[in-house]
Structure 1
Amino acid sequence: MDTQAQQTKGDANQHLKLAIAMAILKYKRLQKPNDGDPQLPCNNASESDVIKWKQKAKERKAEILRLKEDLRLAEDGIQYDVFPQSASCKCYFFDTFGELSPKLSDDGSESNQWRFKDVLRRRFLRQVRLCERKRKRLGGLTEQTCISDYASENELEQLRASIDFLVELCETVSPLRVEESNFKNWSHEAVEFILDTLNTLSSMGMEEVAIERNISSLIMRLVRRMCNTPEDESHHSTNNVQFYVQHLLRKLGSKAYVGQRVILSVSQRISITAESLLFMDPFDDAFPKMHNCMYIMIQLIEFLVSEYLLTWSKSEAFDLKLLEEWTTSLCHARKALELLESRNALYILYMDRIIGDLSRQLGQVSFIQKLKPDILAKLFS
């Protein structure tokens, strides 16, 4: 009996040993790495997977944030520069801000004038398109269509969109509400694009009435912005904006088609302002603003006459009738300012300087004999 019990106990021990051996073999087989797997312990492999997925999660989160930022900039691109700063405008556009610039090349442009490249052209059109989209969202249907591809769009439509962009930039955005560098870049690109589009339209033989309607609207709106200042702007900000707009008109006036119309519009406004000042109380709050506006307008005409008149006269498309019209208007403006001589003699002094410069430059051109005798009498009397 004892022998049978011992035999039974021995068989149980053998089965136990066999079970333990099989368990150990199975454990080792599970622990043994497959061919090509890194020789890492089980815990290290798990930690590596955790780190890898955490890194992927961080990258995905950063990508989502970047896409959200791109979407925000695309939806409200008028106040932001969606292109890298490496494409910013590095030029001499505002170097002659408020100063006479006698150093001109034969074509009437400044000797160091920077011509914008295709990247800035595309950048400007992108900004105009974003502005058009925002206007469409805020105001519903608009008369203007968005620019999608400047190479295939109608040139006149591009001119309208560029004019609207430049005017709205001056009317709704001041250097205090937007970065000054962006204000300068956008306004420069707008001026260059408008002038370039005018040249293209001229070469295409576009209808003169359509072009003049858009250019007259541009001049009227910019002159109004230069003279009328919102009440919420500080005195320092107001002067800055006025001189910025004056400079834009000055640069647009490098083309005779625009420059002569600017002089005509501004000289007519000088006559109206002089009449208003004549009957205005000097202690009125609006008097200083009108006084500053008068100087800015007179200075703008001086810039245009001294810098561009001889260049305009060399162009085959120079309009003599328009020259006679704004010359007559300038003489009327001087006569209107004579009534203010007792209040401020500087008005007459500056106007005499402009008319003297105009007479001197017209004396150098060959078509002077074609002008009306009464205009010549007023200039050279």
Structure 2
Amino acid sequence: MFLTLDYLVQRESCSTFATFSHQAVNFILSLLKNILLSKREKELVEEIIDGLVTRLMKRMCTIPENAGTSDSGPVDCSDAQFNVQHLFRKLGNEEFIGQRIILAVSQKISNVSESLLLLDPFDDSFPDMHGNMFIMIQLIEFLISDYMKIWLCCEQFDKKIFEEWVRSILKARKDLEVVENINGLYVVYIERVVGRLAREVAPAAYQGKLDLDVFSKLLC
């Protein structure tokens, strides 16, 4: 598993990454499921998954230096970002990974929001940060719509991390409201995510899987 993860995040070619990630994701999910069922080395697995998410996040939010060109002609640098986003969506099928992806992405949104406040609008990285923001918000929306109901039915559903990332999304919404003057669409998109989340988790809140105080904030 270590070798698979290291090889996966080190691929430079978009086409190679897309091909290998498609092959690797099933192996990762299968191996993870076996480890979780055996209830062995869970803390080590958490550390590995957190590391994978962090490294893939960096790849998704980084524009390659050679973006736009290759030996075979023009390359759309967004392809690499969407490849990673798609990989995140596939890995998110496993509740153990999916919840940690949302936590990491929502925290990253808050960090980028703070950076936008301090960044010169004429800085070359400014447009890329805008693109990163939208692809991260979109990823959270995909994961919630694709898997939230499935996760809530999992026997080993992690309520603690669930509440942690819900609170993190609420914080991200507040942070995006601060930069609304830079791009009002940030707030529009994150509000759509919060609305979708509220609808999906409403039954869980009344079943005691989510603190009602946290749920009430989703409705504000």
TM class, shorter-length:
over 0.9
Task: Report the more deviating stretch, 207-216 or 368-377.
Answer: 368-377
Using a 3 Å threshold, how does the CA distance of structure 1 residues 240 and 229 change in structure 2: closer, same or farther? same
Q: Given the alignment of the two structures, is residue 208 of structure 1 paired with residue 42 of structure 2, yes or no?
A: yes
Q: Given the alignment of the two structures, is residue 321 of structure 1 paired with residue 160 of structure 2, yes or no?
A: yes
**Counterpart code for 1:342:** N
Structure 2 CA distance for aligned equivalents of residues 366 and 233 of structure 1: 45
Q: Which residue of 1 aligns with 2:29?
A: 195
**Counterpart code for 1:361:** E
Q: Given the alignment of the two structures, is residue 164 of structure 1 paired with residue 6 of structure 2, yes or no?
A: yes
Q: Given the alignment of the two structures, is residue 283 of structure 1 paired with residue 122 of structure 2, yes or no?
A: yes
Structure of higher CA gyration radius? 1
Structure 2 CA distance for aligned equivalents of residues 366 and 373 of structure 1: 6
Structure 2 CA distance for aligned equivalents of residues 319 and 183 of structure 1: 30
Percentage identity across aligned positions?
45
Contact 2:35–2:42 (8 Å) recurs in 1: no
Give TM-score, length-normalised by structure 1: 0.54
Q: Which residue of 1 aligns with 2:72?
A: none
Q: Given the alignment of the two structures, is residue 186 of structure 1 paired with residue 20 of structure 2, yes or no?
A: yes
Structure 2 CA distance for aligned equivalents of residues 339 and 204 of structure 1: 45
Give the CA RMSD over aligned residues: 1.6
Contact 1:264–1:329 (8 Å) recurs in 2: yes
Structure 2 CA distance for aligned equivalents of residues 281 and 366 of structure 1: 42
1:365 is paired with a residue whose SS is helix
Task: Compute the displacement of 1:331 (Å).
Answer: 0.4
Structure 2 CA distance for aligned equivalents of residues 368 and 380 of structure 1: 17
Q: Given the alignment of the two structures, is residue 223 of structure 1 paired with residue 57 of structure 2, yes or no?
A: yes
Structure 1 CA distance for aligned equivalents of residues 191 and 205 of structure 2: 23
Structure 1 CA distance for aligned equivalents of residues 181 and 28 of structure 2: 42
Task: Compute the displacement of 1:341 (Å).
Answer: 1.1
Q: Which residue of 1 aligns with 2:95?
A: 256
Q: Given the alignment of the two structures, is residue 357 of structure 1 paired with residue 191 of structure 2, yes or no?
A: no
Q: Which residue of 2 aligns with 1:116?
A: none
Contact 1:362–1:368 (8 Å) recurs in 2: no
Give TM-score, length-normalised by structure 2: 0.92
Task: Compute the displacement of 1:260 (Å).
Answer: 0.3
Q: Which residue of 2 aligns with 1:237?
A: 76
Task: Compute the displacement of 1:185 (Å).
Answer: 3.1
Task: Compute the displacement of 1:324 (Å).
Answer: 0.3
Task: Compute the displacement of 1:232 (Å).
Answer: 2.2
Structure possessing the higher relative contact order (Cα contacts under 8 Å, 6 or more residues apart) = 2
> Structure 2 regions of 5+ residues with no counterpart?
70-74
Structure 2 CA distance for aligned equivalents of residues 342 and 242 of structure 1: 26
**Counterpart code for 1:311:** I
Structure 1 CA distance for aligned equivalents of residues 206 and 98 of structure 2: 19
Deviations 1:207-246 (A, max 9, x none): 1111001101100000011112232222843211011111
| Structure with more helix by fraction | 2
